Amino acid sequence: MSSKNLDTLYRQVIMDHYKNPRNKGVLEDDSLTINMNNPTCGDRIQLTLKLEDGIVADAKFEGEGCSISMSSASMMTQAIKGKNIEEALKLSKVFSDMMLGKEYDEDDLDLGDIEALQGVSQFPARIKCATLAWKAMEKGVSTKEEQE
Amino acid sequence: MNAREIRQMFPILDQEVNGNPLVYLDSAATSQKPVPVIEAIDKYYREYNSNVHRGVHTLGTRATDGYEGAREKVRKFINAKSTEEVIFTRGTTTSINTVAASYGRANLSEGDEIVISYMEHHSNIIPWQQVAKQTGATLKYLPLQEDGTISLEDVRTTVTADTKIVSIMQVSNVLGVMNPIKEIAKIAHENGAIMVVDGAQSAPHMKIDVQDLDCDFLAFSGHKMCGPTGIGVLYGKKMHLEKMEPVEFGGEMIDFVGLYESTWKELPWKFEGGTPIIAGAIGLGAAIDFLEQIGLDEIEAYEHKLAAYAMEKMSTIDGMTIYGPKEASKRAGLVTFNIDDVHPHDVATVLDAEGIAVRAGHHCAQPLMKWLKVSATARASFYLYNTEEDIDKLVSGLVKTKEYFSDVF
C-alpha cells in the first residue's frame, strides 16, 4: 500500500517541525538577511543570521512553503546555531549528500532531527523543497566570508 | 464522444504509477499524445526526414509537402484567411515574444499603453514588461471580478485612446475562466489598439475562428493539444505581419544575401529563421486531424461536463477551496484548489502515491496568486481522455490526503 511509502517522507518529527517551527521570525540589528525562493513552485524563505567571531550566534527564518521546505528550515536553524561557519557548511554538505542518496560522512556531527529528512531522497520532486533553507544558509555565510 | 475508446489511443495512460493505475490530470501543463501523432513523427523520421524548401531530391519534396501541409491544417483549424498568416514557432511563449519584440518595439513609444490582465500566464506578462521598459510604454492591468472573471465595463475604462496593444488569454490556466475575447477585441479596435490572444489553454479545447474573433494575433502551443513539444503557432493578420521585421535572422528566412544588406523571404517564411521544426509541425498536423475527427465542439462540451462533475464532487469535501467561478458553465475543464491548510506540494505528493498526477505550485501566474492571496495552489486539469472515474479517484485521493494530514492540523 502506498501510504507506507509516504510515511518515509512525512515522518512525525518533520510534521512536528512544520506545525511548531523552531526559530521562526526575523533577527533584528545588524544580522545578515538572505532571501531565496524556489521559482518552480513559489516556496519562499527569508533567513536572518547573526554571525559573531565566525560562529552562528543566532538564526531565524520566515517564509511560506510546503511541510518539507518549512520543516527543513526549522531543523536547519536549530542545527547550525552555535556551530562555526566551517561546521555549518559541513552539515550542509552532509545534508546535500543525504538528499542525493549518497553515503554521507557524519563524523562527529550531531545530525539530530535532520536525519528524519532522509526519506526525501526517495521523492526526487521534493528534494528542492528540502534544500532551499540550506542553500540560503550557504549563500549567507559565504557572502559573509567574502566580506571578511 | 466516447472517452473510454479515445483513451485507448493514448498508450501512455495504460500504466501503473506507484502501484496504481495512472490518473493523468495535468493536461493543462502538457497533454498526452495519441498513437496517430506518435506514428506521424515516427514515419517522418523513418521514411522522409529531409530538410525543407531546398532539396531538389524526392525526400526533400516529401518533407516540404509534410511541413507545408501541416501549415494548411493549422490555417483551417483556426480559420485564417491564408497560410501566409500562419507562422510556426517553438510555442506560445515564442509566439508572444515575437509579437512583443517585433510589433511592440516598432509601434510603441512613451505615453502608449499595453493592457493585460491579472490572470495572465508569465508568458503573456514578461514580454510586455520588457517591451514597456525598452520603449517607455506603460503596462496596465485589467482588474478581475470577485469570481476571477473580467468585466467588459472594466475593459472599457482601462483601454483608452493611448492603448496600442491589448493582450489577454482566452482561457485561464488557473481559474478556468473563459474570457470574452471577441468583445474585448471590439473595444480594443474602437480605441485603435490591436488584440493579441494567448490561446495556449483554448486552442486544445474549443473551436477558434480568428476571423470571427477578429483578433490581430493568436498564439498557441502544439504540446497542449495532443501534439509534440517544441512546436507552436503564431497567427497574425497579414496587414501586420507584412510590415513587421523578423526577430531571428539566418538560414531559411532570406530572399537575397549581400555583404552588408539582405532581404527577407515573403510571408510566412520570413519569421522562420533556421531549419524549422519539421517533425513537430507534422506531429501537430496529425494532432489537428485527430482532434477534428472527434470534433472540437464535442470535446468542449465533454470537458464542461467533466468540470461540472468535478466541481460538484470536490465541493462536497470539507475544507475545500476552489478558485474561480462557481458556475460550471463559466469554466473550462480544470479545477484549481486548496484543501485545508495542507500545502499543495504535499497534496500532490500524496496523490502521486495514489497514481494521480496533478500540478502544484504557482502555475506560472505569480501576479494571479498574489490576487488570490495564496502562494500556491493545486490544479486538476482534464482532457478528452479523462473520465468521471478519474475524477472519482481524485476525490477519494483528496479524502485520503485530508485523513493523512488530519493528525497534523
Of B292, B313, B341, the residue that ends a domain is: B292
| CA–CA dist B405, B392 (Å, integer) | 20
pLDDT more than 70, % of chain B: 99
Residue A55, helix vs strand vs coil: strand
Residue B364 bears catalytic tag: yes
State the pLDDT at residue A145.
Answer: 67
Question: Are residues B105 and B253 both part of a single domain?
Answer: yes
The CATH number covering residue B212 comes to 3.40.640.10
Mean pLDDT for the stretch of residues A41-60: 93
Question: Are residues B124 and B236 both part of a single domain?
Answer: yes
**pLDDT for B117-126, tens place per residue?**
999 999 999 9
Of the listed ranges A67-76, B55-64, B369-378, B400-409, the least confidently predicted one is: B400-409
State the pLDDT at residue A2.
Answer: 47
Q: Average pLDDT over chain A, rounded to whole? A: 89
Question: Are residues B200 and B258 both part of a single domain?
Answer: yes
A19's enclosing H/E stretch is helix A12-19
What are phi and psi for residue B309, nearest 5 degrees? Answer: -65, -45
Nearest-Cα distance to chain A for B344, in Å, is: 7
The CATH number covering residue B303 comes to 3.90.1150.10
Asked if B362 and A129 come within 8 Å (Cβ–Cβ), the reply is: no
| Cβ–Cβ contact A43 with B under 8 A | yes
Of the listed ranges A23-27, A29-33, A81-85, B305-309, the least confidently predicted one is: A29-33
Nearest-Cα distance to chain B for A138, in Å, is: 24
Q: Average pLDDT over chain B, rounded to whole? A: 96
Question: Are residues B242 and B97 both part of a single domain?
Answer: yes
Question: Are residues B125 and B159 both part of a single domain?
Answer: yes
**Residue B131 and residue B196 in contact, taking contact as beta carbons nearer than 8 Å:** no
In A20-126, alpha helices (H): 67-80, 85-99
**Mutation site for B-interface testing, chosen from A6, A44, A70 by largest number of B Cβ within 10 Å:** A6
Question: Are residues B25 and B86 both part of a single domain?
Answer: no
- Count of domains in chain B? 2
Of B274, B292, B310, the residue that ends a domain is: B292
Question: Are residues B19 and B127 both part of a single domain?
Answer: no
Asked if B375 and A2 come within 8 Å (Cβ–Cβ), the reply is: no
**pLDDT for B349-396, tens place per residue?**
999 999 999 999 999 999 999 999 998 999 999 999 999 999 999 999
Question: Are residues B261 and B300 both part of a single domain?
Answer: no
**pLDDT for A84-140, tens place per residue?**
999 999 999 999 999 998 888 777 677 888 999 999 999 998 999 999 999 999 999
Question: Are residues B349 and B284 both part of a single domain?
Answer: no
- Residue A148 pLDDT level (bands cut at 50, 70, 90): low
CA B160-B144-B335 angle, 5° bins? 140
| Cβ–Cβ contact A147 with B under 8 A | no
| Cβ–Cβ contact A126 with B under 8 A | yes
Asked if B345 and A66 come within 8 Å (Cβ–Cβ), the reply is: yes
Mean pLDDT for the stretch of residues B264-273: 96
Question: Are residues B64 and B200 both part of a single domain?
Answer: yes
Mean pLDDT for the stretch of residues B258-270: 95
Question: Are residues B94 and B111 both part of a single domain?
Answer: yes
Question: Are residues B103 and B199 both part of a single domain?
Answer: yes
Structural domain range at position B391 = 3-32+296-406
Mean pLDDT for the stretch of residues B333-345: 94
| CA–CA dist B272, B247 (Å, integer) | 9
Q: Which of B166, B200, B281, B364 is catalytic?
A: B364
**pLDDT for B5-36, tens place per residue?**
999 999 999 999 999 999 999 999 999 999 99
Q: Which residue has the higher pLDDT, A28 or B282?
A: B282
Task: Give A84-88 contacts, CB < 8 A, sequence gap 24+.
Answer: A84/A54, A84/A55, A84/A56, A85/A51, A85/A54, A85/A55, A85/A56, A85/A141, A85/A144, A85/A145, A86/A54, A88/A56, A88/A137, A88/A141
**pLDDT for B290-305, tens place per residue?**
999 999 999 999 999 9
Q: What domains are there in chain A, each with its CATH number?
A: 2-147 (3.90.1010.10)
Of B259, B292, B325, the residue that ends a domain is: B292
| Cβ–Cβ contact A45 with B under 8 A | no
